[in-house]
Amino acid sequence: MRRQACSLLVGFGVALTVWLWPAPDLRAAERLRVVYSAISGSFAPIWIAQEAGLFEREGLRTDLIYIATSTIAVPSLISGDSQIMMGGGGAVVLARLGGADINIFATSLPVIVQMLIAPPSIARPADLKGKRVGVTRI
């Protein structure tokens, strides 16, 4: 009986010690996966911040990951494979309209930038009639 009580007391002490022991800050060990969707000058701020150690200074351990386009980067964000995305807003807006639980919380440009590039022979939209049009990605 005395041996059982002693074992119970030791077991309780070990359980209490484990329960009260301060857990390591797991958030500090996690790395924040930040996706960018193009290799261009408009993405320079994120590279500069990484190289200058600005993320680290704020306590963020980041991995910058290149995914070739926002239409592929957004699913990475939705699935949880990445936590932050820097890319085109159009894909984010379409995903949100489709029911995805994501938000735009900052932007480097206040508009969605689109360009139509053509040879000099095409000066007006009417000049496109009967011509082929290419897109970078759908």
The pLDDT tens digits for 7-32 are 555 445 444 444 555 555 545 558 89
Tell me, yes or no, if the pTM score tops 0.75.
Answer: no
pLDDT at 49: 92
Integer Cα distance of 65 and 40 in angstroms? 14
Give me the half-sphere count of Cα atoms (radius 13 Å) on the Cβ side of residue 107.
11
Residue 59 is classified by DSSP as: T
CB 67 within 8 A of CB 37: yes
The class that CATH gives domain 26-97 is: alpha beta
Segment 26-83, tens digit of pLDDT: 455 588 999 998 888 888 889 999 999 999 999 999 999 999 888 899 999 999 999 9
The yes-or-no verdict on residue 5 having pLDDT over 50 is: yes
Phi, psi (rounded to 5 degrees) for 35: -95, 135
Residue 129 is classified by DSSP as: T
- Domain spans in the chain, listed from the N-terminal domain onward: 26-97
Name the token pair of 120: 């000099």
Burial of residue 85 (CB within 10 Å: 0-12, 13-18, 19+) is buried
Name the token pair of 97: 């309209």
